[in-house]
Structure formats: structure tokens, C-alpha cells
């Protein structure tokens, strides 16, 4: 039986987004505050995912060995380092989150059976790399607060209550929704970026956060006048809203995850055309 395990590691490092062939104005225009001298830093969190068959000892890999490899090949070299100068790969392609993840894969692949490298630059931004040339995934996390009521207009209150329970109460209820938007694309071989991060964040704000935040979804968002705003329908609508603007940025919308509460979340997989519903009681169910 094939099994996937993860090993967590972390390092603190600084970097700067700056191309010497561009003048100062062009660097500032493209990279914004990230171009400032001498750079800025992050507490990076790394998750290394490995796959394999269980051995006679009940392990995919000996975690002590995995820890030593990650420390030797990655964290001991990157911790408290200026990334632009520590590895030659970052001379050619800037140390963006997505490119750091790609290079870490390259460094670890000779020693470990990798299936994914996930790197968090901060709690709201992470990159995934799965060994596919220059393709990577970038995830932006944000939130909005909104109220909704779950009820079909052609049914009575009693009938809606039988379907939706307390969520059918006439005056609705609210959530602090947490939203994760994942995009896929090719890492630019010079800038290290798969998408303009500022433009991506602006698209999410313009199309979702600003219109949805502090609203009663059933009444303030025309789409939900006819569609029941379940977490699944909200996530699906957000995916529909974001696909075109993200495409115009040169990336592809991969996934939308909407966390309605600590107990309930919904994921829309746009590229594979699959929907994943997740709860604390149900690990993962995929519906084709």
C-alpha cells in the first residue's frame, strides 16, 4: 500500500527582488517594496512530502534520516542566509517563494522519494512544487465576513428546516469565511514568478473580498437571490468569478478552498473538474 508522509522544517532568511539589467524605476514598478535595498526577510516553513511502500518497520522512510537530509541539503545552508547569494540557482532566477520550492526539490530529489514541496513564506502565502519542470502552484489566503440563510424559496419554513436545520432560520446567521485561492503556472526563468502577486491579490480583493465582505449574501449578491449560498455554492461562484481575471494574468485557477467554520470547508478543483468536501469528521471525499 502506497503511503505519503510529511516532514516539517523551517528556516529564517532574507532576499531581495532585483534584476541588475533593469533600472531602479523598472525594478520598483515590477517588484514594489520587495525591491528595496538591502532586502527583507521571512520565517519560512517547509513541508516535504514523501511517498512509498511501508517497509518491515512500518515506515515509508526513517524520519531521522529524512530530518538529517533536509538539514544537510537545505536548512543548514538557508537558515540566516541572504538567499540571493547562497545558492547559484538564485543568481539566474530570483528566490521567490515558488522558485525556492522548486530549487529545494532539486536539492532533495537525489536523496528522497519526493511528491511535493510546500513552502510557506508567511501564513497567508505558500507555494507548492511537484517536480514538473517550471510548473508550480501559488496559494493566497484571505478572509471575509458575511451572513446567509439556507432556504429554497419554493419550500415552507418547515420543509427548509428539515433540509437545512438551524441554517434555515428566517433572519440568517454569519461566518468569518477563510478563503484560499491556488493558481498554477510556469515560473518565469528570470523573475522567478509564476504570476504578479500584487495583481493576483488585487483580483481576489476586487472580485470577491470587497463585494462579499459584510454582506447578507442572499440579499446583497444577486447570484444568491436564486442560488442557495451553501459553502459549496459560494466556493463554486468564487471560482467562476476568478477564472477569467486570473487567466488574464497569465496563470490558471487551480483550486478554491472556502472554510466556513473550523468544522466545515469546501474545495473546488478547477483544472481537474473535481469537487472536494471536507469536514472534521470526514477526512476527504472526492466527487467526480
Cβ atoms 127, 100 nearer than 8 A: yes
Annotated catalytic sites, by residue?
167, 214, 260
Query: What's the N-to-C CA distance of the chain in angstroms?
Result: 23
Q: Check whether residue 230 and residue 100 sit in a common domain.
A: no
Total domains present in the chain? 2
Q: Check whether residue 116 and residue 146 sit in a common domain.
A: no
* pLDDT per residue as tens digits for the range 161-201: 999 999 999 999 999 999 999 999 999 999 999 999 999 99
Q: Give the span between the Cα atoms of 38 and 14, in whole angstroms.
A: 9
pLDDT at 272: 61
CATH of residue 198's domain is 3.30.479.10
Q: Check whether residue 84 and residue 143 sit in a common domain.
A: no
Q: Check whether residue 123 and residue 170 sit in a common domain.
A: no
CA distances from 256 to 82, 183, 269 (A): 33, 9, 7
Q: Check whether residue 155 and residue 282 sit in a common domain.
A: yes
Q: Check whether residue 149 and residue 80 sit in a common domain.
A: no
Q: From 103, 131, 159, give the residue that closes a domain.
A: 131
Q: Check whether residue 176 and residue 209 sit in a common domain.
A: yes
3-state DSSP of the chain: CEEEEEEEEEEEEEECCCCCCCCHHHHHHHHHHHHCCCCEEEEEEEEEEEEEECCCCCCCCCHHHHHHHHHHHHHHHHCCEEHHHHCCHHHHCCCCHHHHHHHHHHHHCCCCCEEEEEEEEECCEEEEECCCCCEEEEEEEEEEEEEECCCCCCCCHHHHHHHHHHHHCCCCEEEEEEEEEEEEEECCCCCCCCCCHHHHHHHHHHHHHHHHCCEEHHHHCHHHHCCCCCHHHHHHHHHHHHHHHHHHCCCEEEEEEEEEECCEEEEEECCCCEEEEEECCEEEEEEC
pTM above 0.75, yes or no: yes
pLDDT at 59: 93
Q: Give the domain range for residue 217.
A: 134-288
pLDDT at 271: 85
Q: Check whether residue 111 and residue 191 sit in a common domain.
A: no
Q: From 109, 131, 153, give the residue that closes a domain.
A: 131
Q: Check whether residue 263 and residue 191 sit in a common domain.
A: yes
Q: Check whether residue 71 and residue 143 sit in a common domain.
A: no
Q: Check whether residue 127 and residue 139 sit in a common domain.
A: no
Q: Give the span between the Cα atoms of 47 and 128, in whole angstroms.
A: 9
Q: Check whether residue 112 and residue 40 sit in a common domain.
A: yes
- The stretches in the chain having pLDDT less than 50 are 273-288
Amino acid at each position: 500500500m502506497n503511503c505519503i508522509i510529511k516532514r516539517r522544517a523551517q528556516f529564517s532568511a532574507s532576499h531581495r527582488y532585483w534584476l541588475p539589467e533593469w533600472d531602479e524605476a523598472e525594478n520598483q514598478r515590477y517588484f514594489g517594496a520587495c525591491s528595496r535595498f538591502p532586502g527583507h526577510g521571512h520565517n519560512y516553513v517547509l513541508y516535504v512530502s514523501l511517498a512509498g511502500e511501508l517497509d518491515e518497520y512500518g515506515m515509508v522512510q526513517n524520519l531521522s534520516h529524512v530530518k538529517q537530509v533536509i538539514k544537510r541539503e537545505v536548512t543548514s545552508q538557508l537558515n540566516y542566509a541572504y538567499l540571493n547569494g547562497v545558492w547559484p540557482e538564485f543568481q539566474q532566477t530570483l528566490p521567490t517563494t515558488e522558485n525556492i520550492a522548486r530549487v529545494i526539490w532539486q536539492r532533495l530529489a537525489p536523496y528522497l522519494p519526493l511528491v511535493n514541496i510546500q513552502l510557506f513564506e508567511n501564513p497567508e502565502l505558500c507555494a507548492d512544487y511537484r517536480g514538473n519542470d517550471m510548473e508550480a502552484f501559488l496559494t493566497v489566503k484571505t478572509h471575509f465576513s458575511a451572513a446567509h440563510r439556507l432556504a429554497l424559496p419554493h419550500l415552507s419554513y418547515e420543509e427548509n428546516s428539515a433540509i437545512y436545520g438551524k441554517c434555515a432560520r428566517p433572519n440568517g446567521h454569519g461566518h468569518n469565511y477563510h478563503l484560499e485561492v491556488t493558481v498554477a503556472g510556469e515560473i518565469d526563468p528570470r523573475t522567478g514568478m509564476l504570476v504578479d502577486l500584487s495583481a493576483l491579490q488585487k483580483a481576489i480583493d476586487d472580485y470577491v473580498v470587497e463585494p462579499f465582505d459584510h454582506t447578507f449574501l442572499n440579499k446583497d449578491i444577486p447570484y444568491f437571490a436564486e442560488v442557495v449560498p451553501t459553502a459549496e455554492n459560494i466556493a463554486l461562484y468564487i471560482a467562476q468569478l476568478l477564472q477569467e481575471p486570473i487567466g488574464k494574468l497569465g496563470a490558471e485557477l487551480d483550486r478554491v478552498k472556502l472554510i466556513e467554520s473550523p468544522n466545515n470547508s469546501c474545495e473546488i478543483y478547477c483544472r481537474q473538474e473535481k469537487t472536494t468536501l471536507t469536514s472534521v469528521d470526514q477526512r476527504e471525499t472526492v466527487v467526480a
